[in-house]
Each structure stands twice: as C-alpha cells, then as structure tokens.
Amino acid sequence: MQVDELLKLMVDKGASDLHFMVSSPPVLRIDGKLVLLEDLAALSSKDMESAFEQVSNQEQRTTFSKERELDFPYSTPGLARFRVNALQQRGTISLVFHVVPSKAPSIDELGLPEICKQLILKPRGLILVTGAAGSGKSTTLAAMINHLNESERRNVITIEDPIEFLFRNKKCLIRQRDLGDDTKSFSSALIHALRHDPDVIVIGEMRDLPTISTAMMAAETGHLVIGTMHSNDAAQSIDRIIDMFPFGQQQQMRLQLSQVIEAVLSQVLLTRIGGGRIAAFEIMLGTGIIRRQIREEKGHEILSNIEQGKPEGMQSLDQALADLVIRNVITQEEALIKSGHPARLQQFLQSQH
C-alpha cells in the first residue's frame, strides 16, 4: 500500500482526514461525514506497519514503541502537509492523517467574524478560542495570526502540538515551536517564550494548571496571549479555568481573569447547504459587565449578557446559528443538532419571521 497515493486521493476529493485501521478499508472524512473507500481491500496489521514506516522516521518509531501514541507532521512535496496521529488499538497501529493547507487562510476567506481583526491587534490580554476537537480552532488561530502578520510589527511566538500552518515573516517576526521536537511541554515553553521578548504568544492548547497560570501572568504583564481550550461556550471556559486552581486561590484567580480576559470565541463546524463547511461562533468580549460577572461568580448570567451585547460585537451561538439558517447557509436541522439550547434557537428563528 502506497500511502502517498492515498493522500493524493484525499486531497483530490477535498477530504479533511484519512483513517487507516486494521480490518477496514481506508476511510475519508468529507464535509464532516465518514466515507468508506469500498473498492479498496481491508487493511492488515502488516499494511499498517508498512504505512507507519513510510511516513515516520526512526526516532518517531522509537517514541511510538514506548508511548503507544504519537502526533507528528508529514509532508508530500507538491501536494500538502499533514498532521498525523498514530495510536495503538487492540495490539495494532491505527493512523489518522489530517490535511493542513500550505498557506494560512485569511479571516475573510473563512468568513470569520470581523471582530477577529480587532482582537488580534490588541496590545495585551487573553483571548481564548474554544470548541470541540475538530471544530477548526487551529484554522481560526492561523487566520488571526495571518492578519496580524500583514498589519503590525510584532514578535510572535507559537507553541503548537504539532505545528500546522507554516508562517513566513511579513511584518511580524514569527517563531514556531513544536511540542516534542522543539520543547518538552507547553508550560516550560511558555516560561522560556517570556524571556524571548515576545509581544504575542500563541498556545496550541491550554490544558493544565502550570500553562494556564503562566498564560494569565503573561497577559497581566503586557503580552497578548491567545490559546485554545476544549470547552463548549464562554461561561464553561471561564469555569474550567477557575476550577483548575485550588479552592483557596479561586477568588484571586477570578479577579485576575476578569482583568486580563479580552474575548472568548467558541466555535462549532457545520455542513453548508450544497457542500463544504462553515464555522458558527459565540463571541464573548471583556466588557465591564462581563468582567464583573466573572469576578462575582455569576457565570449563569454571562449568556444573557452576550445575547444583549450585539451592539458591542457579541453574539450567542444560537444567534449565530439562526443567522446562518435565515441566510440559507445551513439547514435548520443542522443548526438544531449543534445548538446547546434548541428551544432558544427556535425563538430566535421565529422572531425573524
């Protein structure tokens, strides 16, 4: 089995992912749906070992034999770059290839909210991009960095797992660090990044207390910090950060977070009518009212203030979904599946008719 041939097929068909596992033919993900390549034979464990050897080097194979899981980049000249995840399941290798476009997209190309252009030019503070795995957070981050790179002179350091989009310096100096090859952990990379005279620090994933704690300190000391989290909405993102800290520190962290938070962008990925995908966003901005609600532990009131904050550029996910349905970009069924509050979404749709 020649992996590069299947990767070419993946790119030609516009798939986002290619899955290899024992006892199944290769599977593509196209517009969010899994498509079995039924004309190909089911893969054997020997096929899987061969596929892994074709795309990995000796050091990566040694790491995999110890850890039983591995993330690494793979490139096919003239075709594309891929993020590869290998893991062991039922004693055999399983592989997923995720295609990474060679050029970071623009905010306008992706149809991201206009507020993204303003947020990335902020001089300091904390911006969170949140959502489920595979919801397009890395692509949103890349588009925002791309806009910054074309707009202002800043020193940018990214910490990624692994590096996806490659940036060429335009107005910015951009250093990209790969977790594993260039640094051992997000938290230690973040501490060293602060000694490298940064203006902007991009954290691929804020998933542990040392990383979150250092990120908040960096935002407090005059840096713009942008990070991703696996959370569904703004209120949940705030609670998740606070809950990371020991109980005795939580009130102090609420105060600190309320002072540094600039925005939380929570996104879901949807299938467009006619094919293709589009992201819908909940947008929470660090307004005076939102900051007070974070300080006073009133997370349950954040959503209603987001809904009322349209003049400032805020919107709830249901408001964004309703807008996409009304503009005939997505179906009502698709919107209801992705909504956390379907009854509220129905109200927004009815109010527009």
Arithmetic mean of pLDDT over the chain: 95
| Pairing, β 69-76 against β 173-178 | unpaired
Distance in angstroms (rounded) separating the CA atoms of residues 301 and 306: 9
At 225-269, the pLDDT tens digits run 999 999 999 999 999 999 999 999 999 999 999 999 999 999 999
Distance in angstroms (rounded) separating the CA atoms of residues 10 and 18: 7
Cβ proximity of 112 and 140 under 8 Å: yes
Distance in angstroms (rounded) separating the CA atoms of residues 26 and 51: 11
The pLDDT score that the predictor gives to residue 312 is 94
Domain range annotation of the chain: 3-100, 107-315
Q: Is the peptide bond before 162 cis (omega within 30 degrees of 0)?
A: yes
At 282-300, the pLDDT tens digits run 999 999 999 999 999 999 9
The pLDDT score that the predictor gives to residue 162 is 81
pLDDT of 219 > 80? The answer is yes
107-315 has the same fold as 3-100 = no
Among 44-53, 71-80, 177-186, top mean pLDDT goes to 44-53
How confident is residue 353, by pLDDT bands cut at 50, 70 and 90?
A: low
DSSP letters spanning 318-339: HHHHHHHHHTTSS-HHHHHHH-
pLDDT of 1 > 90? The answer is no
| Pairing, β 155-160 against β 69-76 | unpaired
How confident is residue 78, by pLDDT bands cut at 50, 70 and 90?
A: confident
Whether CATH 3.40.50.300 fits 107-315: yes
Sign for the CA dihedral angle at 319, 322, 328, 333 comes to positive
- Average the pLDDT over 18-28 and give the result: 98
Cβ proximity of 280 and 317 under 8 Å: yes
How confident is residue 82, by pLDDT bands cut at 50, 70 and 90?
A: very high
**pTM recorded for the entire structure:** 0.89
Distance in angstroms (rounded) separating the CA atoms of residues 37 and 12: 14
- Average the pLDDT over 122-126 and give the result: 98
- Average the pLDDT over 43-68 and give the result: 96
Choice among 37-46, 99-108, 194-203, 268-277 with the minimum mean pLDDT: 99-108
CATH, range 3-100? 3.30.450.90
In the numeric block, the tokens 């300080």 are attached to 295
Q: What are phi and psi of 267, to 5 degrees?
A: -125, 150
At 94-114, the pLDDT tens digits run 999 999 877 889 999 999 999
How confident is residue 197, by pLDDT bands cut at 50, 70 and 90?
A: very high
Distance in angstroms (rounded) separating the CA atoms of residues 156 and 210: 21
Cβ proximity of 229 and 206 under 8 Å: yes
